[in-house]
């Protein structure tokens, strides 16, 4: 019996985990290992709620943070995979 195996993954992330996952994909070589990327409630362009807490990771979720400017500066990389983002207003 053979099991189906692949060296590629599907990545699903929620909220800040979506930004961490994008860093993995865009900066740490994860694009070469990933087929699909799905985010749920991820603040890809920041969130005003991040101004309420002073923690470094939270500060990176502020609109126009250097972290988000860097990630969003070359979004064309993400065209290498299926990228779906679920959100609500």
Residue whose C-alpha is closest to residue 69's, from 34, 26, 37, 40:
26
Query: Band of the pLDDT at 49, cuts 50, 70, 90?
Result: very high
The pLDDT value given to residue 53: 93
Per residue in 69-85, pLDDT (tens digit) is 999 999 999 998 999 99
Q: Is residue 5's pLDDT more than 70?
A: no
Q: Is residue 6's pLDDT more than 80?
A: no
pTM of the model as a whole: 0.87
Could you write out the DSSP letters of every residue in 15-80? Answer: THHHHHHHHHHHHSSGGGGEEEEEEES--TT--GGGGG---HHHHTTSTT-HHHHHHHTTGGGGGG
Return phi, psi of residue 6, to 5°. Answer: -145, 150
| Cβ count near 28 (within 10 Å) | 9
For residues 12-18, average pLDDT: 97
The pLDDT value given to residue 17: 97
């Amino acid at each position: 019996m053979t099991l189906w195996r692949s060296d590629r993954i599907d990545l699903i992330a929620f909220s800040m985990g979506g930004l961490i996952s994008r860093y993995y994909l865009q900066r740490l070589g994860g694009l070469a290992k990933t087929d699909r990327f799905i985010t749920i409630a991820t603040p890809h362009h920041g969130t005003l709620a991040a101004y309420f807490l002073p923690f470094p990771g939270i500060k990176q979720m502020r609109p126009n943070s250097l972290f988000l400017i860097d990630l969003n500066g070359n979004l064309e990389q993400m065209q290498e995979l299926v990228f779906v983002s679920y959100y609500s207003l």
